[in-house]
Amino acid sequence: MSILILADHHDGHLSGATAHVVAAAQQIGGGDIDLLVAGQDVQGVAEQAAKLDGVARVRVADHAAYAHQLAEPLADLLVRLADGYSHVLASSSTTGKNVLPRLAALKDVAAISDILDVVSTDTFKRPIYAGNAIATVQSADPLKVLTVRSTAFDAISESGNASIEMVDVAVDNSLSSFVDEQLEQSERPELGAARVVISGGRGMGNGENFKLLDGIADKLGAAIGASRAAVDAGFVPNDMQVGQTGKIVAPELYIAVGISGAIQHLAGMKDSKVIVAINKDEEAPIFQVADYGLVGDLFQILPELEQKL
Amino acid sequence: MKVLVAVKRVIDYNVKIRVKADHSDVDLTNVKMAMNPFCEIAVEEAVRLKEKGVATEIVAVTVGPKAAQEQLRTALALGADRAIHVATDERVESLAVAKLLKQVVDVEQPQLVILGKQAIDTDNNQTGQMLAALTGWGQGTFASKVDVQEGTVNVTREIDGGLQTVALKLPAVVTTDLRLNEPRYAKLPDIMKAKKKPLETKTPEELGVDIASKVTQLQVETPAERKGGIKVGSVDELVDKLKNEAKVIS
Ligand SMILES: Cc1cc2nc3c(=O)[nH]c(=O)nc-3n(C[C@H](O)[C@H](O)[C@H](O)COP(=O)(O)OP(=O)(O)OC[C@H]3O[C@@H](n4cnc5c(N)ncnc54)[C@H](O)[C@@H]3O)c2cc1C
Ligand SMILES: Nc1ncnc2c1ncn2[C@@H]1O[C@H](COP(=O)(O)O)[C@@H](O)[C@H]1O
């Protein structure tokens, strides 16, 4: 049986996560791996998707109903396409998390969230309790609906040349409509894909002070993240939150600045290769997971660090 | 309009969990339990809708053991009018919870169902989406703003790139994100009053739902513990370590 992956994309770009989901699909194995690109004016995305190694077909549903990735039409589309597939996968993005459980319920099967390891075609590992335990679960459902933690799988390369086919399935959606979107514009790499992430917490004091991270991020090509406390305090927008209920990151280097290290924050970054913590409280729990801890005032340390990099 | 709120009893978010020695599950004996934080936000939102005159009645519902009635009492103390306990000692997966909630929805006919986006024990993030599928309603997940209008609800959603607002036809399902509101604490007189509010109990059998799951939990492990490293004494030392020891910067 083959595997269908719902591709993640925005603004005409295939998101980096999809290459990791294909890697997970390859580990599941079985038959062909097809990618579904659903949206409006997504020919360019389909061409990017066709380059992913291991993909047999890119199926393209190009229709106004799929613009903005609303869950109701996307789930209906997937229901219509799911026959003949043994697995439907998506990344654990907000789109994947929104759409796949809806598909699963429409098919009367379970959804398995955020898998980080493939044990066999029906058995997967996933984090529970903010990643403080890892459950191995086995599904006896005829269709497995899975979201994939992209940081847990290495991206596959892009030398492929899959065929691109249009799927002509129109669904009508009277349940929901798009009103508007405020997307944060950033020149920096995506948080989930960056090689280096530097995050600020409540210790940053205010939003203006986040500028202290900019110069360092520029030098390291880093993405900038934040703790929930920093987001809640209004220092920075919500899409920067790292943690159990925010984004999961696993960069080569994670620098936590003015972050205490609550379990909910650790859940989002403790799989980073190297962790640096900068905090004035030497008892802060973040130091228990940091490879290199520097105790001191961030307002002195950050300018010096920027200069010495 | 009537609002249904689903609340789950989970481990308190401050507790550091342990895995059982036989690796069958997480050990919950003598562990402090509480209402799932996202469900507190769901209750708070319903109460605010009532205070604004939008909601007329709030019904809180939970699926779980007898002890989960504590969380229903909390919801009642916070402002819910009635509570429904679907009693079971089995572990109930999101799909089965959604099916049970669907039965409650069929009886109660709410215009809005508010759930948390995620239970912090299973971290599933599924039930609301599944309930929306089963009822055939629209879904506003990860809500940071809920604005009920005539026949529709506008929901601002926290998505990866920022915020998205969708308009849903009522009735609809909403799941809460952390920034939707700041839940209040229950006051003592309200806790006393809540003891007298109606709480009815039903079983999955009475609701005609088979809660058996096709997903089996084979094993639960503790993840590889990350060892703390060293403290460096200066920025110079940090930069040197990152360059020459960890080799993550050049
Ligand atoms: C259901 C739920 C989900 C959650 N999900 C998340 C999540 O996804 N992500 C997340 O991050 N949190 C999450 N939280 C919140 C989490 O519990 C913590 O409250 C939060 O992570 C704390 O953020 P913080 O470390 O920035 O703030 P604090 O804990 O207040 O720590 C601030 C730190 O800054 C240090 N500091 C202050 N001034 C300076 C200075 N001048 N120089 C150096 N150091 C300084 C202090 O010593 C302190 O350690 C969640 C909570 C709940 C209940
Ligand atoms: N056993 C339960 N009883 C009542 N509500 C639940 C239960 N399980 C999940 N929910 C609701 O669904 C939300 C999301 O849970 P989940 O999909 O399991 O992560 C929770 O915040 C609750 O609002």
Q: What is the tens place of the pLDDT at every residue in A31-55?
A: 999 999 999 999 999 999 999 999 9
HSE-up of B110 (CA within 13 Å, CB side)? 29
CB-based contact A105 B98, cutoff 8 Å: yes
Per the rule left: phi > 0, alpha: psi between -120 and 50, beta: everything else, A163 is beta
Average pLDDT taken over every residue of chain A: 96
Q: What is the pLDDT of residue B95?
A: 98
Instruction: Among A108-122, A188-202, B70-84, name the one with the lowest average pLDDT.
Output: A188-202
pLDDT band, residue B226 (cuts 50/70/90): confident
ipTM score of complex: 0.95
Q: What is the pLDDT of residue A289?
A: 95
Closest ligand to the CA of A225: 1
DSSP for B120-169, written as a single string:
TTT----HHHHHHHHHT-EEEEEEEEEEE-SSEEEEEEEETTEEEEEEEE
| Orientation of helix A211-220 relative to helix A298-308, angle to 10° | 30
Q: What is the tens place of the pLDDT at every residue in A154-174?
A: 999 999 999 999 998 889 899
Ligand 2 geometric centre to CA of A202 (Å)? 30
pLDDT band, residue B250 (cuts 50/70/90): confident
Alpha-carbon distances, residue A166 vs A58, A71, B35 (angstroms): 8, 20, 47
pLDDT band, residue B247 (cuts 50/70/90): very high
DSSP letter assigned to residue A296: S
Q: What is the tens place of the pLDDT at every residue in B21-30?
A: 999 999 999 9
Contact between A269 and A242 (Cβ < 8 Å) = yes
Q: What is the tens place of the pLDDT at every residue in A208-243?
A: 999 999 999 999 999 999 999 999 999 999 999 999
Cα–Cα distance measured from residue B86 to residue A215, given in angstroms and rounded to the nearest whole number: 55
Quote the Cα angle for B128-B134-B135, to 5°.
90
For residue A308, give the nearest of B177, B215, B235 by CB distance. Answer: B235
Q: What is the pLDDT of residue A7?
A: 98
pLDDT band, residue B225 (cuts 50/70/90): confident
Instruction: Please give the single-letter amino acid code of residue A306.
Output: E
How far does the CA of residue B34 sit from the closest CA of chain A (Å)?
A: 14
pLDDT band, residue B54 (cuts 50/70/90): very high
Q: Whose CA is closest to atom 15 on ligand 1? A: A228
Counts of helices then strands in chain B (DSSP H, E): 6, 13
Tell me what the mean pLDDT of segment B8-15 comes to.
Answer: 95
Lookup: tokens for B4: 């249904």
What is the share, in percent, of chain B residues with pLDDT greater than 90? 95
Tell me what the mean pLDDT of segment A278-298 comes to.
Answer: 97
Task: Sort strands A13-14 and B162-169 into parallel, antiparallel or unpaired.
Answer: unpaired
Cα–Cα distance measured from residue B156 to residue B147, given in angstroms and rounded to the nearest whole number: 9
Q: What is the tens place of the pLDDT at every residue in A85-133?
A: 999 999 999 999 999 999 999 999 999 999 999 999 999 999 999 999 9
What is the share, in percent, of chain A residues with pLDDT greater than 70? 100
**Is it the case that residue A192 has pLDDT exceeding 90?**
no
pTM score, two decimals? 0.95
Average pLDDT taken over every residue of chain B: 96
pLDDT band, residue B243 (cuts 50/70/90): very high
Cα–Cα distance measured from residue A173 to residue B48, given in angstroms and rounded to the nearest whole number: 30
Cα–Cα distance measured from residue B178 to residue B144, given in angstroms and rounded to the nearest whole number: 7
How far does the CA of residue A53 sit from the closest CA of chain B (Å)?
A: 26
| Percent of chain B as helix, strand, coil, to the nearest 5 | 30, 30, 40
Q: What is the tens place of the pLDDT at every residue in B111-154?
A: 999 999 999 999 999 999 999 999 999 999 999 999 999 999 99
Q: What is the pLDDT of residue B134?
A: 98
**Closest ligand 1 atom number to CA of residue A297:** 42
Q: What is the pLDDT of residue B161?
A: 86
Q: What is the tens place of the pLDDT at every residue in B159-216?
A: 998 999 999 999 999 999 999 999 999 999 999 999 999 999 999 999 999 999 999 9
Q: Whose CA is closest to atom 13 on ligand 2? A: B116
